[in-house]
Structure formats: structure tokens, C-alpha cells
Structure 1
Amino acid sequence: MRILLILAILILGLAALTVWRAARNEAQARIDTPPLGEIIEVEGHDVHALVKGSGPDLVLIHGSSGNIRDFTHSLVDQLTDRYRVIVLDRPGLGYSEAVNPKGDTIFEQAAILQKAAAQLGADKPIVVGQSYGGTVALAWSADHPDALSALVTLAAPAEPWDTPLAGLYEINSNPWLSWAVLPVISAWVPNSHVQNVLTEVFAPQPVPEGYLSHFGRMTLSRGSQKATALQRKRFLDEVRALKPRYGQITVPTEVLHGDADDTVNIDLHTPSLLNAIDGAQLTTLPGIGHMPQHVAQEAVLDAIDRAATRAALR
């Protein structure tokens, strides 16, 4: 009995330490990576938005597990000389509030981000989305066809797939298991592990110098992890629902995808868009992986400029 009591005390102590450490790490992450823009209220929900530059309106939507700092590392400042750039944290991530506690669908995200852009004066922006954010951009284009001028997707999932949901997303989307696992990740995962994950995401290109320190650890907060898991759990069904509607997208569309992308395969995910969207143009990026906004920036900038020209904005 005494051994069980000691064991219980040790477990409770470790749990308390883990929760305390998770809260401390999250507080430090907010200090290290504060909001870069303003927090606006959209239909009662906080949305973090950064607005820079002048010219035609351009909205950037980041990928899974990310926040606006992915784009602000280097891309945004290359656009502000000719565009009014609006970068938005997706719901539940960065400093934006989740809209749906059960997991924000791509359609709910598109709706709140579209309203945020309009509230900031961008009624018909060019919409650019990377990875998961590219699928949100596709949902924006299908659901709100009069609320954008052009579309650019970067390594966007667009076709249903047959691989199972990653185990960590299954755990973190479970209301009981996540209660135990999320604090452990936030408290104890070291920066070296984050760097290793980034290395896999950026492969075969290297992680840009200074990216980790700029991006920070906000993505490891309990709230961000939970939001990402809930979104990813529903993602496949949402892509299945969205795919038949690609033909409704009528704005000039530029599709960029690296042929070395092992995260979102170009051969699986681009044909649906090219076949369904009238005038959609594909730029294949030889040897480029999943992060063209960093490692193929000239091609990304050219695609945005082409979209603007095709939409008669330049």
C-alpha cells in the first residue's frame, strides 16, 4: 500500500510539473513570438491579421500547424512593393481564435478569413494558399466566388487520398487522450525535435537559416496542437466534398507544385484542378519539395504576378 501511495504521489507530481512546464513554455513562446499584426474581431471571433504594403489586395493563407510567421520569414517583404499584403492566422492557430470547438472545417475557415479580409477592405483579393491553406483557398473560391479576383495554390491537397490519419492526430483529436498527451508535447518536446520535423517538411531543400527562431514554438501550444488535430481529422472528408465543386471556380488560377514534394504528391493532387478549373495553369517546380514559398520564391512571385495580370489588376 505504501509503495502504491508513493507511486501515486510521484505520478501526480510529474503531472503537475508537466502542466506547469507546458504553461511556462507557452507563455515564453508568446513572449518570443508576439503578434505581428492586429487582432480584429470577426463575427465575435479574434483573427490575427498583418497588413503591409500597397497595391492590389493579396491574402496569404498558411499551411497545417503553422501561422503567419511562415510567410513573414521572407516572402511578405518581397511583395509589399506592389501588393497590399494581408496575412491571416487560420482559426485556432497562431493568435486567431477557433470558430468551431469540434474542429474548424475548411469551409468555416474560408468563411471567417474571407470576412476578415473584407473587414480590412479587401473585397476581391488575390488569394494565395500553401498546403492545407491552399485547400482553404480552394474552398474560399468555391464558396465565395465573388469575393476574390484570382487564386494561387502552392502544394495544395486537392484529391482524396488513401493513407490513414497519422496516429498523433488521432490521439490529439481524442477528447480523453489529448488531455494527457498535449501537455507532455508542449512541456517536453525540445527544439531539436522541431528542427528535425522541419527538415522533413522542407526536404529535399534545407530549412532556411533563421526560420526556426522566427517561426518559434507557438505551434506546440496545447491549443494549436488540438486545433490542428481536429482540422486534420476532418480534412479528408472535406476534400471529398470540395472536389466536385472545382468546376465552379472561375477566377484566374495558378497552380504551383514541386515534383519532389513527398508530403502532397504532384501527380495525385494537380490533375483534378487542371481538368476542372477552366484556364488553370500548372507550374511544375523541378526538384522542389513542399515549401516553395521559401525555396522557389521567384516562381511563386511570378505566379502571383501572372494571376494579378490575368485578373487585370496589373
Structure 2
Amino acid sequence: MSGFGRIATGAVGVGMVAAGGLALHAGTAARRFERMVPQDGTIVEVEGARLHVVERGQGPALLLIHGLGGQLRNFSRILEPLAARHRVVLVDRPGSGYSVSDALVQPSLADQARSLAGLIDALRLDRPVVVGHSLGGALALMLAIQHPERVGGLALLSPFTRPVEAVPPAFALLALRSPLLRSLLAWTAVVPLAQWDPERTASLVFGPEPVPGDFAVAGGGALGLRPANFQATSADLAGANAAASDMVRRYAELAMPVDILFGAQDAILDPERHGAETAAQIWGARLTRVDGGHMIPYTQPETVAAWIEAAAARRRDGARRP
């Protein structure tokens, strides 16, 4: 073997050892994150998925859906206030947190909506108000469009509602269309990059508000760094624009109460485009702006809980298109 051949073979060997070491590190880190953020609720089997669900309280039902890369603890600060008057159901979206899809690939938003419709049936929720944050807002809209008989109203928090031309900088690492590249990155680079600059992405998502010091555990943020969660999140991001393009054409069909709340300084989604333009397409939809960023369910729990209460009261008052 020539000198160049020996060098090349050695380089490949070193690369394989390094990749194996990074994968081992990712697996170890994933188990540590699960100890930090253990499963809080029960698993409910529905069509296409096994969903991790937490329930609290009694009364009119609220179904809360978290956003891209999130987990049901994203709503931990508003759970108890809402549960004082409502039956509150928090769910990890398929592929996120502790919810697992039955498919070999991450399900589309339409498939996720089908699973959530099954959850509404399995839990015997009586046309709940569906609360969706960020990409969870898109999923709430998809659920209402495809299964309107199961939804009593929508309360959308900083929702993703329309296609975007560019991925927000906070999600640049996720912008991969190749499943192979997603898997490679998830098992090698994600954890080291997160440990190298742990505040960067969080500050982009929470800005201009400060990053709460307890979000990794109390807010479930640590789980998003597990390899499987990263891959699912990247796939969700890749399919978001196509789903939004389909939904935009059907917003005028919605006949239920729709309320939208946006942080006026949201650095992830434009309140004018995703809030005002969308509200203008939906009969009777109401848009409210508050000072704040994208993560208002966690940074402004009192304001958000009171706003959801008002949206739920609007549904009880029977505000529907004639």
C-alpha cells in the first residue's frame, strides 16, 4: 500500500472511531435528558401513534399542542391556572417528547391531526377548544379544517399559519431535507453544538425576553436534543411550508371561534403575516398583540392563561358562523 493509501485508510479509521464516540456521547446524553425530564403522564394508543398525555382538572375541555421541537412541559406554567376551571389535556405531538409515531418516517401534519382526532375520541373530549403554539398552531388549524366536528374553537399562540421564504436563524441547524443527513447530524453534532453554545438558540427563540433558567427541565427543553426528537423536528420543519400552503386555501371554511395571540416582538414568526393576514381570512377571527417574544406561554403565563380563558368563554357563548 502506498504512503497516501495508508494515510487515507488511517483517516477513515480515525473518522469512524470519532463518529462512534460522538454517537455514544449522544446516546448517553439522551438518557441523561430523560432523567432530567421524565415522562409525566400516560400513553394513549390512537391511530398512527402512541401519545404521551397529561390531564388535569374538570370542566370544558382544552387540548394544548406544543410547537416545533417542543414538549408538553412547554405549557407547565399555565397548566394549573387553566385546570382550576377546565379539563386540560396536554399532549406531546407524534415524534416529540414521549409520543411515538407508528410509521417509519415522521408523520405529516395531516397525519398528526388524524392522530389527535383519535385522541379526542379516545378521551371523549366534547369538542374542545384546541390551543396550539407555533407549529402546534398549524396543527390545531389542520385538525379544525380536517375534523371540524371534533373542535369547538381555536386559541392560537404565536402560530405558524403561512409558508415562509427563509428558515428563522434559530432553526438553521434543522433545515435538512435528507433523512440520512438528519440522522448523521443527530447522532454526532447536535449535542456537542448545544453544549458549546447552550444559550444561543434559546435566546433567539425567547428573545427579546430573557431565557428562563428552568426551561431545560421545567419547560421540557432538554428532550429536544435527543437524536430521535431532533430528526422528527427537522422533518416537521421540512414539511411545514407544504402543509401551510394547503391550509391557507381553506381558512375561509372555518366556522368556529378562532382567537390568535402574538407577542409583538416575536423574532421567529411575523405577527403581521402569521397573525393579521390569517385573521383577515377567517370569519370572526380576533387577533390580540401583547409585548413579548415567541415563547409567551412560558414567559407570560398569567396573561396567556387569562387570554385562553376568554377564548374558551367565547366558544361557550356559541360564537359560530351562521
RMSD: 2.1
How many residues align? The count is 311
Structure 2 counterpart of 1:303: 307
State the Cα distance separating 1:313 from its structure 2 match.
Answer: 7.0
Among 4, 10, 19, which residue is 1:6 paired with? 10
Are 2:88 and 1:85 aligned?
yes
State the Cα distance separating 1:87 from its structure 2 match.
Answer: 0.4
State the Cα distance separating 1:37 from its structure 2 match.
Answer: 0.4
Structure 2 counterpart of 1:146: 149
TM-score, structure 1 normalization: 0.92
Unaligned runs of 5+ in 2: none
Q: Which amino acid aligns with 1:122?
A: L
Moved more, 178-187 or 196-205: 178-187
Are 2:262 and 1:257 aligned?
yes
Among 201, 209, 213, which residue is 2:217 paired with? 213
Are 2:296 and 1:277 aligned?
no
State the Cα distance separating 1:191 from its structure 2 match.
Answer: 4.1
Give SS of 2:113's match: helix
Contact between 1:127 and 1:150, CA under 8 Å: does it hold in 2? Answer: yes
Among 92, 97, 114, which residue is 1:94 paired with? 97
Alignment of 1:57-68 (within 5 A): 57-68=61-72
- 2:246 & 2:207 partners in 1: Cα distance? 30
- 2:274 & 2:190 partners in 1: Cα distance? 33
Unaligned runs of 5+ in 1: none
Q: Which amino acid aligns with 2:224?
A: T
Among 156, 175, 182, which residue is 1:178 paired with? 182
TM-score, structure 2 normalization: 0.90
Among 133, 136, 149, which residue is 1:133 paired with? 136
Give SS of 1:282's match: strand
State the Cα distance separating 1:84 from its structure 2 match.
Answer: 0.9
Task: Report sequence identity in percent.
Answer: 28
Give SS of 2:38's match: coil
State the Cα distance separating 1:190 from its structure 2 match.
Answer: 4.0
Contact between 1:158 and 1:272, CA under 8 Å: does it hold in 2? Answer: no
Q: For residues 48-97 of structure 1, give each alpha carbon's deviation from its aligned partner in whole angstroms, at most 9, with x where no partner exists.
A: 0011111111110000011111112x111221111111000001111111
State the Cα distance separating 1:302 from its structure 2 match.
Answer: 2.5
- 1:305 & 1:176 partners in 2: Cα distance? 44
**After the TM superposition, which parts of structure 1 deviate over 4 Å for at least 4 consecutive aligned residues?**
164-167
Are 2:44 and 1:43 aligned?
no
Cα distance change of structure 1 residues 263 and 164 upon mapping to structure 2, 3 Å threshold: closer
Give SS of 2:208's match: coil
- 2:175 & 2:258 partners in 1: Cα distance? 34
Cα distance change of structure 1 residues 306 and 225 upon mapping to structure 2, 3 Å threshold: same
Among 227, 234, 238, which residue is 2:232 paired with? 227
Give SS of 2:233's match: helix
Cα distance change of structure 1 residues 245 and 220 upon mapping to structure 2, 3 Å threshold: same
Cα distance change of structure 1 residues 177 and 161 upon mapping to structure 2, 3 Å threshold: closer
Structure 1 counterpart of 2:23: 19
Moved more, 181-190 or 225-234: 181-190
Give SS of 1:262's match: coil
